[in-house]
Amino acid sequence: MADDAINKLEKEILLEKAFKGYAKFGVANSNGNQITLSNIDKWLKEAAIVNGKKVSTTDTAILFQRFKAKTIDFRQFLQFIEGLAKESKLNQDDIMNKLAKCAVPGTSRATQADKSNIVQRLTDTSKYTGSHKERFDAKGKGKGKSGREDRAENSGYVQGYKEKNTYDAKKK
């Protein structure tokens, strides 16, 4: 009996940790205490509970409407899971186990930036030529708009004139 209680406590801790992770996922200003229906659906799909056959997102939406809120907290979520188990005739402990085993969502499996020699050569701004060379400063930092457009000088001389500002010296 003592092992069962510890196991149930561990399961609830894992479930609450996953709850906070899914509550924060995709919601910029979330602190993880409230979860939306769409995040619950993501979690249930990840745990292979929502499969479109026995349990669908329509079923979860109907259950979620009973709370009359856009978000629910962890205690309400446990009530949600209890209701889902009753409605779909699934074992509540099986649902809880599957949800607790799900990894917290994030970008841990995201594509990493390539750091090969080819990419380094292509992105080395000191080797750029022509007009592209003008877009970066000596350190390789982009100049922004000033590096992309030609500005008129309004000095009275045409572009490329080599004897600029020498007229007064010749006249004397």
Read off the pLDDT of residues 80-92 as tens digits, 9 standing for 90 and up. Answer: 999 998 988 888 8
The pLDDT score that the predictor gives to residue 62 is 92
Residue type, 36: T
What are the tokens at 9? 């406590």
Total Cβ atoms within 10 A of residue 63: 21
What are the tokens at 121? 């050569």
The pLDDT score that the predictor gives to residue 106 is 67
DSSP 16-51: HHHHHHHHHTT-TT--SS-EEHHHHHHHHHHTT---
CATH of 2-101, one of 3.30.420.340, 1.10.238.10, 3.30.1330.60, 1.20.1090.10: 1.10.238.10
pLDDT at 5 over 60: no
Domain ranges of the chain: 2-101
Q: How many angstroms separate the CA atoms of 30 and 49, rounded?
A: 25
Q: Work out the pLDDT band at 76, boundaries 50, 70, 90.
A: very high
